[in-house]
Amino acid sequence: MTPLLELRDLVRAFPVRDALGRAKGAVRAVDGVSLAVAEGEVLAIVGESGCGKSTLGRLALRLIEPDAGSIRFMGEDLRALKPADLRRRRRDMQLIFQDPFASLDPRMTVEQAVSEPLRLHGIVPRAQEPARVAELLARVGLRPELARRWPHEFSGGQRQRIAIARSLASRPRLIIGDEPVSALDVSVQAQVINLLQDLIAELRLTFVLISHDLGVVRHIADRVAVMYLGRIVEEGPTEAVFRAARHPYTRALLAAVPGQGGRDGGKAIPLEGDVPSPIDPPSGCRFRTRCPYAEAVCAERMPELEGAAHRAACHLQDRLPPPRPPAEHDAGGERLRRLQAYFTDRHIPTTTMGATKT
C-alpha cells in the first residue's frame, strides 16, 4: 500500500549569523529524515526541544522549503507542484499549532474564521456556510450560537477547539498537530486530546502528533518516531518502542518520565549535559557525547536506521542490556529482587522469603 505521506532524505538548514549579520554556519534542523505515514495512522514525533520536530512538520506540508529530499503526499510529488496546484492540495493537509492565540485572527469572529477555509476551497455553496459552521462547531463540542463571538471571549481550550474546527473545515486527509495541547491548562489537555482522538476515529484522519508528552503519545499514537539533533534515531509501533526501546536516547527519554519504563538492565541513562549544538553536531552518532555506552565506532560512523517495523539507528543496539519493564508495573517484584540480592550477597537462605507474616 502506498503511504499517504512519504518523506525521503529531507534536509533543511537555517543560516546562523553573527552580530554583524555575517553567515557563520548553519543549523541543520532536519538532516536526512525519511518517514512514511500510512492512511488512517496516528504517528507521533517526539524528542527534546530543538531537535527539529516543528521544522519537519512544516517541511512535510511544504510550508517551508526543503534544501533536499522529496515529499510525496497522496501519490503526488509536493515539491514538483506549481503554486496553484499546491494551494489546491492544501485543503487535504492542515496544521494545528500549539498556540491557539496565534493561530486565530483576533479580528475575525468564530464564524468568519471557520468559514474562511470553506470559501477558500469552495467546500460548500455560500448559502450553506452558516449551517456547515454550526455543524463543525458542534463536532468540536462548542455551541453553534458561539459563532458570532470573537476569539478573545474564549478560554484557551475553547480557542483550540475553534482552531480544530477551522482545520477540519476543508475536510483534510492529513492533520499535523504541533504540540496541540501543551499550551493548555493540564485540566483541559485531556479533554482536547480526547476530542482529537474521537475526531481521528470518526473522520478516519491521518494524524501526525508532534509532542513531548510521552503519556499522551502512548495514549493515542500507533507509531512513534524519536528525533535527536535533526535525525530519526528510532521508529516503530508505539508499544514496541515504549516496552523495548532500542536506542539509548529513547530509553533516556522514557526513563525521565515516571511509569514509562525505559530504564535498562545495565546503566541508568540520565539525560545529562546539554544537547550539543546543532551548528556543529558530533561526528558519527550524534547522541554519543551523552551516551553511556558509546564506543570508538560511534564517533567514526553515523549509524543508519536498521530493522523492519521497529528500527533504531545505533551501532550497539544488539548488544545493549535488555530494557527493564516500567517500575510501576513491577514495583513489588523489583523490591523482592533487591531484597533477595541483599540476602544472597550475605549468604542468607531466601527460600522462606515472602512466607513470613508481618
Ligand X SMILES: Nc1ncnc2c1ncn2[C@@H]1O[C@H](COP(=O)(O)OP(=O)(O)OP(=O)(O)O)[C@@H](O)[C@H]1O
Q: Which residues contact Mg ion by CB under 5 A?
A: 54
Interface segment toward ligand X; rule CB under 6 A; list 49-57, 83-91, 165-173, 261-269? 49-57
User: Which grid coordinates belong to 38?
Assistant: 500510512
- In the three-class reduction of DSSP (H, G, I as helix; E, B as strand; rest coil), residue 34 is classed as strand
Nearest to ligand X of 38, 256 (CB atom): 256
According to CB under 6 A, which one of 4, 7, 10, 54 is a site residue for ligand X?
A: 54
How far is it, in rounded angstroms, from Cα 199 to Cα 299? 45
256: contact with ligand X by CB under 6 A: no
Residue 95 or 312 having the CB closest to Mg ion: 95
CA pair distance 180, 164, nearest whole angstrom: 9
Total residues in contact with ligand X, by rule CB under 6 A:
12
Angle at 330 between CA 325 and CA 331, to 5 degrees: 125
- How far apart, in whole angstroms, are the C-alpha atoms of residue 13 and residue 129? 41
End-to-end CA distance of the chain: 60
Closest CA relative to residue 248, chosen from 256, 238, 239: 256
Radius of gyration of the chain measured on its C-alpha atoms: 24
Answer for which of 29, 46, 174, 199 binds ligand X (CB under 6 A) is 29
Q: Which does 29 bind (CB under 5 to 8 A by kind): ligand X, Mg ion, none?
A: ligand X
Q: Binding residue for ligand X (CB under 6 A) from 5, 10, 27, 313?
A: 27
Q: Does 25 bind ligand X (CB under 6 A)?
A: no
Q: Is 55 in the site for ligand X (CB under 6 A)?
A: yes
Pick the piece of the chain touching ligand X (CB under 6 A) from 45-53, 78-86, 105-113, 342-350: 45-53
278 binds, among Mg ion, ligand X, none (CB under 5 to 8 A by kind): ligand X
Minimal CA–CA distance to 73: which of 90, 54, 58?
A: 90
- 7 binds ligand X, rule: CB under 6 A: no
Cα 35 from Cα 43, distance rounded (Å): 10
Query: Bridge partners of 68?
Result: 11
Whole-angstrom distance, CA of residue 233 vs CA of residue 286: 9
The yes or no reply on residue 53 touching ligand X (CB under 6 A) is yes
Say if residues 173 and 92 touch (Cβ distance below 8 Å). yes
Q: According to the binding rule CB under 6 A, does residue 44 interact with ligand X? A: no
User: Can residue 50 be called a binding residue for ligand X (CB under 6 A)?
Assistant: yes
Q: Closer CB to ligand X, residue 217 or residue 320?
A: 217
Applying CB under 6 A, among 7, 33, 43, 51 the residue interacting with ligand X is 51
Min separation Cβ 30 and ligand X, Å: 7
Q: Residue 32: phi, psi to the nearest 5? A: 90, 60
* 286 scored as a contact of ligand X (CB under 6 A): no
Q: How far is the CB of 113 from ligand X (least distance, A)?
A: 24
Taking contact as CB under 6 A, which single stretch among the options 51-59, 183-191, 213-221, 311-319 is the one that binds ligand X?
A: 51-59
- The length of the chain is 358
Which stretches of the chain bind ligand X, using CB under 6 A?
A: 14, 27, 29, 47, 49-55, 278
